[in-house]
Amino acid sequence: MKVVIDAAVCDGKGYCKRFAPEVFALDEWGYGEVLVDEVPPEYEANARAALEACPLQAIKAV
């Protein structure tokens, strides 16, 4: 599984990082950032939870 954040949609705040700190971080300005090229299988469930939790639906699984 790969994930991307639509930078034009992300508004910061960081639910993604709270749900999957192994996959998402917050950058210098507080916007969501994907840490990994490929989500390791053991973190996929967390990544999906983050994807659903993002209030702006800015995260896409690709």
Partner 1 sequence: MSSPLRVGPLRNARLLDAEPDGTPGPADLSGPEIIEIAEAAGIRGRGGAGFPLAVKLRSVASAPGPVRYVIANGEEGEPASVKDRFLLRERPDLVLRGLELAARAVSADRAYVYVSDPSAARRLAAKRGDTPADIPVDIPIGVVAVAPGYVAGEETAVVRAVDGGPALPTVKPPRPWQEGVCGAPTLVSNVETLAQLALAVRLGPEAYRGMGTPESTGTFLATLSGAGRAPGLYEVPYGIPLRELVTAHMGTAAGVTGLLAGGFAGGLLPASALDLPLTHAALARAGSTLGCGAFVLLAGDCPVGVAAEVAAFFDRENARQCGPCVTGTSGVAGVLARLTVRSATVEDVARLERWGAALAGRGNCATPDAVTALVGSLFRHHRDLVDAHVGTECERCAATDVTADTRFRVSWEGS
Give residues in contact with partner 1 (CB under 8 A).
4-12, 27-31, 33, 60, 62
Q: Which of residues 43-62 bind ligand SF4 (CB under 6 A)?
A: 54, 56, 58-59
Q: How far is CA 39 from CA 8, 11, 28, 29, in A?
A: 22, 22, 22, 23
* 38 vs 22: CA distance, rounded Å: 11
Which of ligand SF4, partner 1, none does residue 29 bind (CB under 5 to 8 Å by kind)?
Answer: partner 1
* 43 vs 48: CA distance, rounded Å: 9
39 contacts ligand SF4 (rule: CB under 6 A): no
Q: Which of residues 7-36 bind ligand SF4 (CB under 6 A)?
A: 7-8, 10-16, 31-32
